[in-house]
Amino acid sequence: MCRSPIPAATDCSSRAARTRATPEWQCSFGYAYTDARITSNTSTTIVAGNRVQLVPCNQVSLCNTYQLNPTWAAAVGVIYFSDSFASSDDSVRLPGFVRVDAALYAKVDENWRVQLEVENLFNRGYWATADGNSNISPGQPRTFRLTAIAKFSMSGTGEERALHVRRSR
């Protein structure tokens, strides 16, 4: 059951798989079906049977990562969200979308990694979220993120931590 101020019920199912096609090539796939519906009338427009806002019925993700050599790896991923509604009155439909992301990873040494991620590789427009029917937000345009990750041990504890430093554009 959803925990929300609006009474709702959710029928959902998800599946995920991860495999190594070759020692260098890792693939992962995920699928989720979510039928989230309002269970009782809460206003004249939010009525039993309406879909819960911003919950797509279908979500799919596919990611492929290839280890080019001990230092370098590259990845490409595709996500799909089916349509959803901007609010639970089901009057404004947000269209589904497909987004392609990519990344390049470098292992500098045992303690340092650097990665360049490109979200929305093809710079396709899409509606990412909404706060009601009249405040709809577009998804990010093509976005580059450069991240440096340092692994270190906490003094005297033997516990390892990672420090992430990101720069987006």
Phi, psi (degrees; rounded to nearest 5) at 88: -80, 5
CB 133 within 8 A of CB 113: no
CB 1 within 8 A of CB 10: yes
**What does the block give as tokens for 93?**
């439909």
**What does pTM read for this prediction?**
0.82
How far is residue 95's CA from residue 130's CA, in Å, rounded to a whole number?
12
Residue 160: the pLDDT is 62
The residue ranges of every structural domain in the chain are 17-31+59-168
How far is residue 121's CA from residue 102's CA, in Å, rounded to a whole number?
7
Instruction: DSSP letter for 51, please.
Output: B
Residue 11: the pLDDT is 75
Q: Given the DSSP bridges, would you call strands 72-81 and 160-168 parallel, antiparallel or unpaired?
A: unpaired
Residue 30: the pLDDT is 96
CB 144 within 8 A of CB 169: yes
| pLDDT digit string (tens) for the chain, length 169 residues | 334 455 667 678 889 999 999 999 999 999 999 999 999 999 999 999 999 999 999 999 999 999 999 999 999 999 999 999 999 999 999 999 999 999 999 999 988 999 999 999 999 999 999 999 999 999 999 999 999 988 877 666 666 666 666 666 6
User: CA of 27: how far to CAs of 41, 64, 68, 71, in Å?
Assistant: 44, 5, 15, 19
